[in-house]
Chains A and B, each alone.
Chain A
Amino acid sequence: MGVLLTLPILIPLFTAALCLLAWRWWRVQRVLGLVSAFALLCAAAALLYRVRTEGIQAVQIGAWPAPYGISLVADLFSAMMVMITGILGAAVAVYSAGSLDKARQSFGYYPLYHVLLMGVCGAFLTGDIFNLYVWFEVMLMASFVLLALGGGQGQIEGALKYVTLNLMASSVFLAAVGLLYSVAGTLNMADLARKLRHAPEPGIVTVLAMLFLVAFGTKAATFPLFFWLPASYHTPPVAVSAIFAGLLTKVGVYALIRVFTLIFVRDDVYVHTLILVIAGLTMVTGVLGAIAQNEFRRLLSFHIVSQIGYMIMGLALFTPLGLAGSVLFIIHNILAKSNLFLVSGLAQRFGGTFDLKKLGGLYEEHPALAVLFLVPALSLAGLPPFVGFFAKLLLIKAGLEAGSYVIVAVALGVSLLTLFSMMKIWTEVFWKPAPQRHPAVRRRAGAGLWASTASLAALTLALGIAAGPAFDLSRDAAAQLVNPQSYIDAVSRAHR
């Protein structure tokens, strides 16, 4: 029973280890990597099914009881995040197998890719605040190497900014964990929730919560802590950008939602107003940054920032509907954003560059790619019938019901600006006639590239059509977040 909770960590761990052992044979690593990515996908699906049918799952590693040992916990939100990690992990594994240069494939790409997935899954599943820190470290190291691997000056420069700022966030996180332990005497998140709930006055806890806000806010790339993201995401190979774009910031958002629904729930008006302000500023500054760009991936990178604002908007509203909106928005955004990065890679393949001014003519030459761009782009702008519309609708509805008219106006305005900048890409890359052809153009792309890109687009459409079940899932996940008692209970009777 508990094994399902550990599989999303163990599968990538063993894959990474085996890949390291097979260092000399990169083709073996590639096969291993693909098989394991799909195994992770299956394990994630099994876990989600289990959580959906039987409720929150928890297990104590090493059979040490909570709060003394480390708990792994999967509520619906966690299980959904692991599921989407599995989906993205598989899609990008296929894409990278078909697009990465041989040098990178032979020098550590596969083991590090799976270490990254391990860190992400660990972060989603852990029920222990210090263990969360460890998973952040795992992610940070793996992502840093992936970012710097095989790169020229620009890539190394981006990687340095990335790692420096993220290490600062990690230090803040670590300090916060230490201080929290000195105040509450425990590290288990469910135990923390229980002990802090009855604390005499929440003052110091709120102050510590601010440290977590900074730490996770940096990881999630919220205003004004997002600088590392646009500085680095456009530099590595597209497959790496895509998996980063999909997963890394979302782990930060996940952590924000987790601690601010489970642990720091006492001083809600102050904290939630603060998060609401951050949400609005993140949306606006991110989208304005995107509008200012003329490079495909830079533009997309700023959009990641902007969309983070929507995800924490639901947290700030702190209503069941708002949180459901956040959950659905995260899922939608992971699909759409990674999809767009994969499209940028194909566009670069066919057009020879990421520079919007130098691209063009792909509407005629590759109409299929045009469709694959439009689906996630329109979903990102919140247009129906894609899942992005339904996610936005939930947030708007929650905002209007809560009477937070300003944030609703901001969210709607930013979605217009999002559309504006998506259509900028569309105009430049697809509609505009091709300027002088870049010499390094390829005419074709492998089936793997098309299949992985198309499958994400298909999911964006499918989740829109299946908006009913998708909403039910998000609503139930949000219900568990709003009433953390079931989470706490699950940990206290955790299977050893």
Chain B
Amino acid sequence: MLTAVASGFILAILVALVRRISSPAAGWFLAALPACLAAYFSSQASRVWRGGPILEHHTWAPGMGVALDFRLDGLSLLFALLITVIGAFVLVYSGKYLRDRARLGRLYGLLLFFMASMLGLVLAGNLLLLYVFWELTSISSYLLIGFENQRAAARSAALQALLVTVLGGLCLLAGIVLLGNIGGSFEITALLAQGDAIRAHALYPAALSLILIGAFTKSAQFPFHFWLPKAMEAPTPVSAYLHAATMVKAGVYLLARLNPALGGTTAWTAALVAVGVVTMVGGAVLALNKTDLKQILAYSTVSVLGMLVFLIGLGTPLAFQAMAVYLVAHGLYKGALFLVAGAVEHETGTRDIGKLGALFKSMPVTASASVLAALSMAGLPPMLGFTGKELLYESALHAPVHAGLLTTAAVAAGALLFILAAAAGFGPFFGGGRHSGADVHEAPSALWIGPLVLATGGLVLGLAPALMNAAVRSATLAVAPAAATPVDLALFHGLSPALVLSAVSAGGGLALYSLHGRLIVAGDGLKPLAQWGPASIYDRAVGALNRIAVTQTGLLQTGYLRHYMQMVIVTTVALVIAGIVRWAALPQMVGPVGPQFHEAVLAVAIIIATIFAVRSTSRLAAVAALGVVGIGVSLIFALFGAPDLAMTQLTVESLIVILLVLVMYHLPDFGVFGPRRYRLRNLIVSAAGGITMTLLVLTAASVQYAPPISTYYVENSYTQAHGRNIVNVIITDFRALDTLGETTVVAASAAGVWAILRLRSRKGFFK
């Protein structure tokens, strides 16, 4: 299975590297890979159905719990087949669909990259590996939604989809890590085996909510659904593949996958059923007033995704069967309808159902595919969509709680889907739209073969649903190992309550379809409500984020050096004072001896000179005062037994004063900057800094944990290093590396000053 996944990535990279793959025919050639993969997975089918999951293990980062584990069971097999089969047709389709040949290679590459990621997602046997592929699908979805990147709408739709799904992805990551910490492993097989322990754990609610957010964002559940209709900015084959048939089902897949580990609790059931039902009904209602083919299909996809989540939430064996069947049915009919919408747009230049109609004569093959798919979506016999819908009604009727309410919702959704199917799959070909069809031709074969095969698949499986018995049983087994029941799918089960409900929803749908035009108009009246919807909340959040960012940055990064310096000092003071207070380590004066008289005089002189330097209005006087401070400090050094230090300091001080006097002529006027309160603030900050350092020195001086190492230097300076001046020996021998570093600093600064000055004076010399 590693090979299967890797082959997709490798081919994607090859396509990116080989520029020649821009011919429409290349689609047929590239489709060979998904076709072969589909064949491979089909060949494994009987083994999986009979024997159970096929496991494969490769190491990746064992220390982190990440492994290249793959797991092919009934559930992942179903997904893998959907991904590869639809992927093959989408590749063929894309070659003809895209008018801009130059970008065709990019589309092929991204589609293959996505296919490989999606395959990896459903085959992963390790949750972290699943997450890796999960994010890869988000990234490829981003690049595909923004495929027509010249359009601002495509760019912002791509960003929105990315942010919403990655937000969910990050929650999912946290949830996965929590789950891994609870279960002691990231291996799916290991986690599924200890569902009871996981559900009883204190962190279960947290892990569950995080994982649910991840699944709901990816599968466009309310209130995260809004990114999916916007994602219709993508080229139509992308919408068909990612945003109808496969990627948006990743969340559904994850919920089904983790059902044995997380499912069955009240929280799980409540969250999935509530969110699922709201999404199922809400998505279909929102689709009613749309006139763009892709928008109608997108909202109906939202509705179906809600249905699938709802079914998983119900948690009965029948519901899982319904989920598996409808998953396939939806993949087939929705993929087909999207591809049809693309073909129609390709031939007529529009997707507006108000402008389309009577295309049957000009596009008979496309129309046939469309009608077959629409029948399945409408839930009419003998299509697979009918079987799936019957199972849905049956599951809702037998729901453990609120069966009446849930059945009503399901039937309502069924009726609404009927209308949408008619509007999107039937109307353009038989309706009374503007297009006479005279100037329209049948789409090229690459554009109709996919929809035709997929829709026919829905018909064949609808006529003989028993073909799916083994697959559905095996998928159900994977979702709920404990609750496996025999599966016996049939087109006609006799006169059951579900059949009655089917008739009700079809009849209701038919009745409402005649009112569709009025519904579209009525929907326009509700537009003001949209400002309270999640989409506008997203917009406002992004706007607020940008404003907060600008405000915060303006407050912090003011551009004034003095603010930055104050911040450094204030931080130092705060941290040090907090530390001193925390330890009640107030300074104890060193020894009983106060300062000697001459020391006090020196200190007073330094203080006076400092005050003078600060207050002086003459630069010369200020410099001179600073010189006094420096000399005072050197004298202190001298008094406390460091004559060489004092000499060095004296030299430096003199040099600085001389330098300052030299450059004084070139400096701007010396004045008092800023109003009084600024200077007051400066005074407070600098005083706080000085006082803090003083306190700190006094505190530190009162503690000594170990005798200083300097005695070693005294003892060894002459005997070992052959030098009488200990300070010199330290500088040149004991700690010569310091001196080497400092010499380098001096050399670097000399070279730097020279270079900066010369380069400035020779501006314009080069070039």
- The DSSP consensus for interface residues of chain B is helix
* Separation of A211 and B735 alpha carbons in the complex (Å): 24
Task: Tell me the residues in window 415-457 of chain A with beta carbons closer than 8 Å to chain B beta carbons.
Answer: 415-417, 419-420, 423, 427, 430-433
Instruction: Given A270-B582, A467-B60, A468-B59, check contact A186 B548 (CB 8 Å).
Output: no
Q: Is residue B668 within 8 Å, beta carbon to beta carbon, of the partner chain?
A: no
List of B residues within 8 angstroms of A118 by Cβ: 744
Q: Is residue A138 within 8 Å, beta carbon to beta carbon, of the partner chain?
A: yes
Instruction: Given A384-B136, A433-B150, check contact A141 B749 (CB 8 Å).
Output: yes
Q: Is residue B181 within 8 Å, beta carbon to beta carbon, of the partner chain?
A: yes
Q: Name which of B408-416, B431-439, B452-460, B753-761 contacts chain A.
A: B753-761
Contact of A408 among B135, B174, B556 (CB under 8 A): B174
Q: For residue A428, which residue of chain B has the nearest CB? A: B155
List of A residues within 8 angstroms of B367 by Cβ: none
Q: Is the CB of A160 within 8 A of B561?
A: yes
Q: Is the CB of B149 within 8 A of A68?
A: no
Q: Is residue B585 within 8 Å, beta carbon to beta carbon, of the partner chain?
A: yes
B-contact 0/1 string along A167-194, CB 8 Å cutoff:
0110010010001011111110001000
Instruction: Given A112-B748, A184-B706, check contact A130 B738 (CB 8 Å).
Output: yes
What's the least CB distance linking B27 to chain A, in Å?
A: 20
List of B residues within 8 angstroms of A400 by Cβ: 174, 177-178, 181
List of A residues within 8 angstroms of B576 by Cβ: 207, 210-211
Q: Is the CB of B751 within 8 A of A393?
A: no
Contact of A289 among B159, B552, B580 (CB under 8 A): B552
Q: Is the CB of A468 within 8 A of B60?
A: yes
Q: Is the CB of B552 within 8 A of A228?
A: no
A-contact 0/1 string along B564-603, CB 8 Å cutoff:
1101110110011011101111000000000000000000
Q: Is the CB of A227 within 8 A of B564?
A: yes
List of B residues within 8 angstroms of A111 by Cβ: 748, 751
B-contact 0/1 string along A384-411, CB 8 Å cutoff:
1100011001101100110000001100
List of A residues within 8 angstroms of B572 by Cβ: 172, 210-211, 214
What's the least CB distance linking A393 to chain B, in Å?
A: 6
What's the least CB distance linking A473 to chain B, in Å?
A: 10
Task: Tell me the residues in window 144-170 of chain A with beta carbons closer than 8 Å to chain B beta carbons.
Answer: 144-145, 148-150, 160-161, 164-165, 168-169
* Separation of A291 and B549 alpha carbons in the complex (Å): 6
Q: Is residue B637 within 8 Å, beta carbon to beta carbon, of the partner chain?
A: no
What's the least CB distance linking B136 to chain A, in Å?
A: 7
Q: Is residue A344 within 8 Å, beta carbon to beta carbon, of the partner chain?
A: no
Q: For residue B62, which residue of chain A has the nearest CB? A: A468
Q: Is residue A64 within 8 Å, beta carbon to beta carbon, of the partner chain?
A: yes
Contact of B755 among A16, A61, A149, A367 (CB under 8 A): A149
Q: Is residue A206 within 8 Å, beta carbon to beta carbon, of the partner chain?
A: yes
We find that the number of chain A residues with CB closer than 8 angstroms to chain B is: 120
Q: Is the CB of B703 within 8 A of A393?
A: no
Q: Is residue B63 within 8 Å, beta carbon to beta carbon, of the partner chain?
A: yes
Contact of A184 among B162, B550, B580, B705 (CB under 8 A): B705
Task: Tell me the residues in window 280-312 of chain A with beta carbons closer than 8 Å to chain B beta carbons.
Answer: 285, 288-293, 302
Q: Is the CB of A378 within 8 A of B139?
A: yes
Which of A367, A408, A423 gathers most chain B CB within 10 Å? Answer: A423
Task: Tell me the residues in window 134-155 of chain B with beta carbons closer than 8 Å to chain A beta carbons.
Answer: 135-136, 139, 142, 146, 149-150, 152, 155
List of B residues within 8 angstroms of A292 by Cβ: 546, 549-550, 552-554
Q: For residue B105, which residue of chain A has the nearest CB? A: A367
List of A residues within 8 angstroms of B703 by Cβ: 183, 204
We find that the number of chain B residues with CB closer than 8 angstroms to chain A is: 105
* Separation of A191 and B342 alpha carbons in the complex (Å): 74
Q: Is the CB of B738 within 8 A of A288?
A: no
Q: Is residue B709 within 8 Å, beta carbon to beta carbon, of the partner chain?
A: yes
Contact of A467 among B64, B553, B583, B759 (CB under 8 A): B64
Contact of A468 among B61, B579, B736, B747 (CB under 8 A): B61
Q: Name which of B224-232, B347-355, B623-631, B693-701 contacts chain A.
A: B693-701
Contact of B734 among A68, A150, A211 (CB under 8 A): A68
List of A residues within 8 angstroms of B152 by Cβ: 432
Instruction: Given A211-B576, A467-B60, check contact A224 B556 (CB 8 Å).
Output: yes
What's the least CB distance linking A418 to chain B, in Å?
A: 10
Contact of B736 among A62, A130, A168 (CB under 8 A): A62
Contact of A204 among B131, B585, B716, B748 (CB under 8 A): B585
Q: For residue A137, which residue of chain B has the nearest CB? A: B745
Q: For residue B583, which residue of chain A has the nearest CB? A: A203
List of B residues within 8 angstroms of A207 by Cβ: 576, 579-580, 583, 585, 696, 699-700
Q: Is residue A475 within 8 Å, beta carbon to beta carbon, of the partner chain?
A: yes
List of B residues within 8 angstroms of A302 by Cβ: 553
List of B residues within 8 angstroms of A69 by Cβ: 734-735
List of B residues within 8 angstroms of A313 by Cβ: none
Q: Is the CB of A468 within 8 A of B700?
A: no
What's the least CB distance linking A148 to chain B, in Å?
A: 6
Q: Is the CB of A145 within 8 A of B751?
A: yes
What's the least CB distance linking A36 to chain B, in Å?
A: 15
Q: Is the CB of A288 within 8 A of B149?
A: no
Contact of A108 among B170, B704, B709, B755 (CB under 8 A): B755
* Separation of A401 and B174 alpha carbons in the complex (Å): 11
Q: Is the CB of B755 within 8 A of A107?
A: yes
Q: Is the CB of A228 within 8 A of B704?
A: no
* Separation of A161 and B131 alpha carbons in the complex (Å): 44
Instruction: Given A131-B737, A184-B706, A384-B135, check contact A138 B745 (CB 8 Å).
Output: yes
Q: Is the CB of B754 within 8 A of A108?
A: yes
Contact of B741 among A134, A384, A417, A431 (CB under 8 A): A134
What's the least CB distance linking A121 to chain B, in Å?
A: 11
Q: Is residue A103 within 8 Å, beta carbon to beta carbon, of the partner chain?
A: yes
* Separation of A301 and B496 alpha carbons in the complex (Å): 68
What's the least CB distance linking B545 to chain A, in Å?
A: 7
Q: Is the CB of B557 within 8 A of A165?
A: no
Q: Is residue A495 within 8 Å, beta carbon to beta carbon, of the partner chain?
A: no
Q: Is the CB of A419 within 8 A of B163?
A: yes
A-contact 0/1 string along B158-188, CB 8 Å cutoff:
0100110011001101100110110000000
Instruction: Given A145-B749, A384-B135, A423-B159, check contact A224 B567 (CB 8 Å).
Output: yes
* Separation of A115 and B559 alpha carbons in the complex (Å): 29
Q: Is residue B641 within 8 Å, beta carbon to beta carbon, of the partner chain?
A: no
Q: For residue A229, which residue of chain B has the nearest CB? A: B557
Q: For residue B712, which residue of chain A has the nearest CB? A: A68
Q: Is the CB of A168 within 8 A of B568?
A: yes
Q: Is residue A22 within 8 Å, beta carbon to beta carbon, of the partner chain?
A: no
Q: Is the CB of A179 within 8 A of B696?
A: yes
Q: Is the CB of B759 within 8 A of A103?
A: yes
Task: Tell me the residues in window 386-419 of chain B with beta carbons closer than 8 Å to chain A beta carbons.
Answer: none
Q: Is residue A496 within 8 Å, beta carbon to beta carbon, of the partner chain?
A: no
Which of A102, A389, A415 gathers most chain B CB within 10 Å? Answer: A389
* Separation of A66 and B164 alpha carbons in the complex (Å): 57
List of B residues within 8 angstroms of A415 by Cβ: 170
Instruction: Given A107-B759, A423-B162, A467-B66, check contact A168 B565 (CB 8 Å).
Output: yes
List of A residues within 8 angstroms of B177 by Cβ: 393, 396-397, 400
Q: Is the CB of A384 within 8 A of B132?
A: yes
The 7 listed contacts between A and B (C-beta, < 8 Å) are: A141-B745, A168-B569, A285-B552, A385-B132, A412-B170, A412-B173, A470-B61
- Give the top 6 A-B pairs by smallest Cβ distance, nearest first: A145-B752, A203-B583, A108-B755, A185-B708, A134-B741, A207-B579
Given contacts A137-B745, A138-B748, A409-B174, 10 further A-B contacts (CB under 8 A): A70-B738, A134-B741, A135-B741, A185-B706, A195-B705, A203-B579, A207-B583, A383-B166, A384-B136, A468-B62
